[in-house]
Structure 1
């Protein structure tokens, strides 16, 4: 059977393919330390798991659930945004729970893009923005982020281009893979840019609470709801990546457009998972302090490992659960260096080119590995 033409424009997700290769190495007796994947290894909040288990015994737990998500979950997201970002959201009309925020990238694209529309995508950036854009028949237009600009968009440069076909602009701050925070004027400038050119602005915001003293939301800025949406999830903040719980926030009108797509794609989320996630969203400050302490200690070790490998670190604050560094001058490409440490030290870290051409010359280490394992990696390199 011949596949659809749209599959000719995309590849299998890099990490899907690479993990298969690593699994084969491990099956052959090679102890590979995986420092490439951002899947939290820490447990979720105890009360969230307990609530999920309790809810599974409810009579209505195993029925189809609301396409709009459980009231408790939407209210928990609204309360979370009010406490953490001082953003007021109507839980009935301005929040739509998702099966993880990755699902939201597809739903938003299907709701707002026609074939031939253009989409502004950060380079480097999350590869799913590009693959989904291609799947719906739209055209990716990459805006380059550079270290000398602290990985911030250059709106003056963007203004020089023909923007008539641009329908969506993806932002992702705190930024993955570089760990850059949004500069003081980025969200303000992005909103003005989007209003001027009639562009839907979407900020993908899952990393705000990992090693970040000043979490920010696009929706906290004046007039943001007029032109913007924001995605968030419990995956990174509460170590619940496998639960697949996220949400998109924005104006009632835009949420309704997305709901039209979503309601034709799934039949609601398992209720116990929603109620457990709602409990997690109401965790107190101690949760975030403990999480930061663990990641801070891991980051110190990862930085030590990177230096042992002769990588070069930027002189700036590191935010999020990754460490983004320059590869040694002796290597021509990121993939060459990544393959070198895999074969020589049995360590896997993601080459920067996975995230776009502007990632060439960089490599990304994950903090989702315990300190003992990172110490083990350091000793391998020293040996």
Structure 2
């Protein structure tokens, strides 16, 4: 009998990755011939803008891009990031020391704990929240401490509820606004409170800002780095995935405190070899895109949001109307929990959605819909739900 090679302990104790599990359920449904309406994963269905694709085409044949890229990212790319931050947030960054390229922001989230978290250190993670916050913590040997995001506190952590002995062991806090999965926004006062706490207990704040450019009410979400004192203790991660429909391109960036950026860079130089420079050139074209050119994309998601929100309301489902992101955080109907309602939708309506408890215990009782199908398809999803609820 062939001997079994055991997994490492750090892998054995990992929960199943949420989106991997959802993918398997979707494949099973499609194999049965189900006409699936996929509202589960935040993967834009709209193609990358043509001018960005053309920039890649122009850059790909250049021989200098066929060698190893620089670990920290091309200086031209980091300058484009710094220029974008200056235009968008009036935040000044040194492209040489305060900007680092990432293979998508997920990679930065996963690697940051490896740079700063020792076994036994605490990492404050939002719940519900992106699973990689806690998974990256566990890989580093740290202890995730889950901060509940509740409707009663505006989906921001109740910082006063975190015990002093936990805060004394804290090395890192993850925040994410506009928030996935709840779509909540963050106020200046809330950011200030987190920054004051980080200064008091000497821990890092990592703000995941992947959704700042997806907003609907004309009020632009802010950068964490706009707040006084933020750069002293924190970094902000961004992705081009959602803003420019570039999920498959795998490019993002980390900005902020130069010492923290340096530590993250130390991990990256040992574990990856950077981003293909032709992709970086395309990303420069994306970051140089006129702000007005993004308005039609926001209009598209606004129409989808309204179709789904109005439809859910018409059948008695309580949803939060998002002012940002392309997610809708929705209470499950009576008689269901998060997982049973997700299974009910999949098996009886051919609709794939994400159970809220997959984002953490505080997500129980909710389900997340992604606005990643067209308006007519969204209306069809509502009509399918109407027949089974």
Q: TM-score range by the shorter chain?
A: over 0.9
Return the match for 1:318 from 319, 323, 333.
Answer: 323
Q: Give yes or no for the alignment of 1:359 onto 2:363.
A: yes
Instruction: Describe how 1:154-165 pairs up with structure 2 within 5 A.
Output: 154-165=158-169
Question: Which residue of the partner structure matches residue 224 of structure 2?
Answer: 218
**Cα offset, 1:20, TM superposition:** 1.6
CA-CA distance at 1:374 after TM superposition: 1.2
Q: CA shift at 1:287, angstroms?
A: 2.1
Change (3 A) 1:289 1:28: same
Deviations along 1:319-340, one digit per CA (max 9) or x if unpaired, are: 2110101111232x11111111
Distance 1:295 1:193 in 2: 36
Equivalent residue runs for 1:126-205 within 5 Å: 126-205=130-209
1:346 maps to 350
Question: In structure 2, what is the equivalent of residue 328 of structure 1?
Answer: 333
Q: Is the 8 A contact 1:36 1:348 kept in 2?
A: yes
1:264 to 270, 282, 290: 270
Residues 81 and 89, structure 1, Cα contact 8 Å, conserved in 2: yes
- Name the counterpart of 1:288: 294
Q: How many residues align?
A: 381
SS in 2 for 1:26: helix
Match among 367, 379, 382 for residue 378 of structure 1: 382
Native 8 Å contact 2:77 2:281 kept in 1: yes
Instruction: State whether residues 322 and 328 of structure 2, in contact with CA within 8 Å, keep that contact through their aligned partners in structure 1.
Output: no
Q: Does 1:125 align with 2:129?
A: yes
1:37 paired to 2:51: no
Give TM-score, length-normalised by structure 2. 0.95
**Contact in 2 for aligned 1:243/1:273 (Cα 8 Å):** yes
Q: Secondary structure at the match of 1:313?
A: coil
The Cα of 1:114 is off from its aligned counterpart by 0.7
Q: 8 Å contact 1:308–1:381 — kept in the other structure?
A: no
Contact 1:302 1:365 in 2 (8 A): no
2:23 to 19, 33, 37: 19
Deviation, structure 1 residue 382: 4.1
1:53-106 CA-to-partner distances (Å, cap 9, x unmatched) read: 110111212111101101221111111111111110011110000000111012
Contact conserved, 1:100 with 1:246, CA < 8 A, in 2? yes
Question: Could you tell which deviates more after superposition, 245-254 or 231-240?
Answer: 245-254
Match of 1:2 in 2: 6
* SS at structure 2 position matched to 1:67: coil
**What is the DSSP-based 3-state SS (H/G/I as helix, E as strand, rest coil) of the residue aligned with 2:64?**
coil
Distance 1:69 1:312 in 2: 44
> Per-residue deviation at 1:378?
2.5
CA contact (8 A) 1:85 1:215 kept: no
Q: In structure 1, what is the Cα distance between the partners aligned to 2:315 and 2:250? A: 35
Does residue 227 (structure 1) correspond to residue 243 (structure 2)? The answer is no
- Is 1:87 matched up with 2:62? no
The farther-off stretch of 202-211 and 17-26 is: 17-26
How far apart are residue 281 of structure 1 and its match? 0.8
Gaps of 5+ in 1: none
**Which residue pairs with 1:68 in the alignment?**
72
1:112 and 2:119 matched: no
Unaligned runs of 5+ in 2: none
User: CA separation in 1, counterparts of 2:11 and 2:101?
Assistant: 28
Structure 2 contact 114–139 (Cα < 8 Å) conserved: no
TM-score, structure 1 as length reference: 0.96
Q: Which residue of 2 is the match for residue 244 of structure 1?
A: 250
Q: 1 CA distance for matches of 2:113 and 2:134?
A: 11
Q: Is the 8 A contact 1:125 1:176 kept in 2?
A: yes
RMSD of the TM alignment (CA)?
Answer: 1.4
SS of aligned partner of 2:16: coil
Judged with a 3 Å threshold, the aligned counterparts in structure 2 of structure 1 residues 160 and 254 are, in CA distance, closer, same or farther, namely closer
